[in-house]
Amino acid sequence: LVELNASAKISILVDSLEGVLALKSIGARISNPLDVLLKVNTGLNRCGVEPGSEKGVEIIRTVLQYPFLKFKGLLTHAGHVYGAASKEEVKKIGREEGEILVDYAEHLRNQDIRVEEVSVGATPTVYHSAFVPGVTEIRPGNYVFFDAMQIFLGVVPIEKCSLSILSTVISRPVPNRIIIDAGSKALGLDKGAHGTGLLEGYGIITDLESRKKIPGLVLTRLSEEHGIIEAPRDNPLKLGDIIRIIPNHACSAINMYSHSLVLENGKITDRWELAARR
């Protein structure tokens, strides 16, 4: 952390006094003050202090005691939106995400605590939370690629998904079962973010060229190196055919690979190394 802070702008999230006090050990070695944001729970019920809590105030006042720390603001992640049953519920969660954080920021300012950042983050909610007056930062990470989960929630149509995985048909032992060479090591096992399990199958199967969903194909099971597809008996796929799969969760799927290939107009134009795997 000390080394990174010397060459990059680093922010720290805390939701406990213990988290703040743990930073004391590096205080003498910090040359540039670390920005600190308080993590707030807006419904996911994972990390974060409860909105409006005095525990949060106590944590912030402790941060303000240390010259090597700078309290920057509030941050949340409304990940519970991935369990939403409708577009209306997505909108409601998005508005609440922004409003809860803005209200808490005002509560802190009324106690003479400066709040510069009010940061919200979740791809499905950003279309709503970003427009709450008082929100200063958005963090919609999945929007870079989109995936089957975003399609399911009505965030984007299938043609907006830019990340896909190619796989080859390697067996068709019976007419209604197709075996491909992409399994859990290629696609991941997510069937919905945060364990929601809302999706059918392990990805959306599309035509290689048109990128349109192939009717009737469901990727029902994964072994480590095999995918098992249930298919109509009259589906024309045969051994050697290549299909395109939009993963359920782009974030974890791309992390399975050391690099990805960039295509423009059907031609490979670049190769991106996955820096986080180094």
Q: Which domain holds residue 197?
A: 158-277
The pTM (predicted TM-score) of the whole model is 0.88
- Give the tokens for residue 179: 């075996």
Greater confidence (265 vs 234) lies with: 234
Whether residue 120 contacts residue 78, with contact meaning beta carbons closer than 8 Å, is answered with yes
Q: For 136-190, write each residue's pLDDT tens digit.
A: 999 998 999 999 999 999 999 999 999 999 999 999 999 999 999 999 999 999 9
The CA-atom distances, in angstroms, between 208 and each of 40, 166, 243 are 43, 8, 5
Whether residues 132 and 201 fall in one domain = no
Domain co-membership, 135 together with 172: no
Residues 131 and 164 in one domain: no
196 has a pLDDT exceeding 80:
no
Model pLDDT, residue 184 = 97
pLDDT(270) > 80: yes
Report d(CA 166, CA 206) in Å as an integer. 10
The last residue of one of the domains, among 139, 170, 193, is 139
| Structural domains of the chain, count | 2
pLDDT at 219 > cutoff 90:
yes
Q: Is residue 28 domain-resident?
A: yes
**Is residue 149 included in any domain, yes or no?**
no
User: Structure tokens of 147?
Assistant: 């995936």
> In percent, how much of the chain has pLDDT > 90?
83
Domain final residue, candidates 93, 110, 139: 139
- My answer on whether 53 and 15 are in the same domain is yes
Summary mean pLDDT of the chain = 94
Q: What is the pLDDT of residue 50?
A: 97
> Mean pLDDT throughout 11-23?
95
**CATH number for the domain harbouring residue 268:** 2.40.37.20
Do 216 and 114 share a structural domain? Answer: no
Residues 198 and 127 in one domain: no
Helix (H, G, I), strand (E, B) or coil at 199: coil
- Specify if 144 maps to a domain: no
CATH code of the domain in which 118 resides: 3.20.20.10
As given in the structure block, the two tokens for residue 201 are 């199958």
pLDDT digits (tens, 9 = 90+) for 50-102: 998 999 999 999 999 999 999 999 999 999 999 998 999 999 999 999 999 99
Dihedral over Cα of 14, 17, 20, 25: its sign: negative
9 and 120 part of one domain = yes
Same domain, 94 and 188: no
Res. 204: pLDDT tops 80? yes
65 and 185 fall within a common domain: no
Mean pLDDT, range 245-268, rounded to an integer: 93
Predicted local confidence at residue 1, as pLDDT: 86
